[in-house]
Chains A and B, each alone.
Chain A
Amino acid sequence: MSTPIISFQDYGFQYMAQAEPTLHHINLDIYPGEKVLIAGTSGSGKSTIGNCINGLIPFAYPGEKTGVLLVDGKEADKSSIFELSHTVGTVLQDTDGQFIGLTVGEDIAFAAENDCVVQDEMKQIVDKVAKLVDIDHHLDYAPHELSGGQKQRVSLAGVMVEEVKVLLFDEPLANLDPAAGRTTIELIDTVHERTKAAVIVIEHRLEDVLWRSMDRIVLMNEGRVIADMPTAKLLAGNYLLEHGIREPLYLTALRYAGVAIEEKMHPEHVDKLCLTDAHKEMVLNWYQKQKALIQQQEAGEELLKVEHLTFGYTPQKRNLQDVSFTIHKGEMVSIVGRNGAGKSTLAKLICGFEQPLSGAIYMAGRNLSGDTIKERAANIGYVMQNPNQMISKPMIWDEVELALLQEEMTGEERKKRVEETLKVCGLYPFRNWPVSALSFGQKKRVTIASILVQRPQVIILDEPTAGQDYHHYTEIMEFLKELNAQGYTILMITHDMHLMLEYTPRAIVFSEGKMLADTTAAHVLNDPCLVQAANLKETSLYSLSMACGIEEPQTFTECFISYEKKEER
């Protein structure tokens, strides 16, 4: 093989503000034209590796390094962030935040502008790369007129303006819905074929990235490389689960059925999977056995009822059109649909942030139309996606207490209420800590606690797990499940199909302001029409059940979920 384009040699790094090194003894070579996935949980050091490659370390985040990092044959820390940017093009995680220009064209041209390319040449380059990523019809669009997927195309075009040898993607799927995520992976693949640049994808959503083949997976944990091997080999081993990364669903299903995963089965993609008849038999047997065990749950009493709700920000456009459904006490329900389908609008109407044009919302039989935001908040809590947008006090106790300060109660009562809530949320030991000392998942808990303290009956959460790895995802979701078990009714706006499947028996699907379906989560994900309308994608369990000759993929999915729940217990 040729010489590596990126070479870590016994490399270690410690951020200036931190007591411990983040990376230890990294040895990693990446060759020209390779496609490598770097996987690992949050805090495993995978993003730090990316920052070393593109020069943000040490030029923007100083610290101390040991060992050597060569990028295109030169020592990275003796180069400069500008010089490195000619070799490595980086697409950051935040599709919106990295959009610099006022329009698409300007944003793509940004690097060329800084390189003093003359205008005529620049226009040609921009047209060329815009075509390559299929955004050439949107050159005059402003960022807020684009979808997440389109913004990502723009970011990609922006780094391709330079003819880079390495394309680095830092969690490219974090802010995208499943369908847009899939398109992004396809786009990365196409760009790789056309440019022959080495592609490095940093991501923990393994199955989504493997929608297109990767040459190699590098698995990180606690600042070390745990495994560095071809995709098939890594999937055949037990590395992923051991290190907090979710393996592809079809592989988990196979393991449940007792099938041992081997390299020669081509485990890297569900469509490439080679199953013997014996394997299929095992899956089928497992399915029959599980099917008998599924139980139906009974619905509780009616709690939240929405009737013929219609709303529009402008008279011409309807953001919601004639929506009706009923939520029962103790339910946990997903609200799904693509961006702009009306999910958030629905939440805003329920909370009273906006007023409907027609229709009504009932809480335990009482019409809410005359109630103010504050009055509704006593029954309905709303948790925003980003905890940093909600937390307004530096100390945990103060933050949780905040809503109670507006109510008339004695200091003693208040103290008791806050203590109880903190205990429910597992935050009691941290009650005197500053919020800034907490992790993202813990901050999320704080925001939930600050809502729970008002004792609402229904909690609405906007994307509760966006951008979280499997470990933190499980932590947040298990917490919500506990709350649900204690009698709180929970509504979640989400893109995460797995969340839907695993935690919410019921899903309500929206598309372009209309309610398309109100059914089981398993049904939604096994109905191609709904999947497409909601910008979701079918799970690999669907393909697996087809491959094994099971004709009811929906029931197969339900079996899988109920088995998984039992396994966890």
Chain B
Amino acid sequence: MLGFIIRRLIAMLLTLVAVSIVAFAIIQLPPGDYLTSYIAQLSSTGDQVDPRVIENLRVQYGLGEPFYIQYWKWITGIVQGNFGQSFEWKRPVWELIWGRLGNSIMVEGLAVIVMWVIAVPIGIYVAVRKYSLGDYLATVAGFIGLAVPNFFFALILMYLAYIWFGTTMGGLFSPQFETARWSLPRIWDFLAHAWAPVLVLATAGTAELIRILRANLLDELQKPYVTTARAKGLPEWKVILKYPVRLALNPLISTIGWLLPALVSGSVIVSVVMNLPTAGPMLLRSLTTQDMYLAGAIILLLSVLTVIGTVISDILLALIDPRIRYGSK
């Protein structure tokens, strides 16, 4: 088991390095470097450009030096917790994003939980009652969930809320709780706001999870041990829940590997539509204003979160399923 975790962690480290290179490449993509635009912006607002400040920045970021030296300076800074400066906000990147990143993690984490809570009972039901009305309804709903783009669903939800209740849905907190400390009323306020984006984010994944669980469970239910259990007179709920469901859930855990990237992707666009204070809208804004250190940091952190989430799900799977723990040696 320890060996498995260590191997998985080493693979994760390599992936993280690759992720950071991609993020840095994106920072470098727009024509012109950070300082040129910074100076241009300062001059346009009529500010004095202090040559010493410029020179310091140039050394700090290694501008004008080869790609790998710039990358090295950037990545060593990040490992020490220095993500660079946002030139639009004139503040350190980390200060700007940590709160928003926390909101992102909360919304996405809730979406994962909601997905499972909805998908598992429905998945079991449709597999046990194959070709029933409920099965068909779930299939139709699943296809619609897959076909309606996240942001379109969000738009429709906001439209209906506006037409029926006259409220503009959006944000994660009421104004009075925006900067407050966490407390019971604030949690309540958060949940009252977050249910809509969480629901929107969970739809597509739920549909897919139900489909996979149904297929897995149908395979398991045909196996002889289920018949044996039945023949021995086990109550039906026990026959199903005790063995086949547990086996059918295992492959489901590994789906987090592709669920998370899709979820993080979706949350960016849903956050923009619903105006959530998460990392998504800030990424979009920083990209349109070419505030590249901010944008690069957000892309990096979103990807890192995804990779770490996937590794955690892999380790969980190995903990639950001994075949994976021992099989991969």
Question: Do they bind each other?
Answer: no
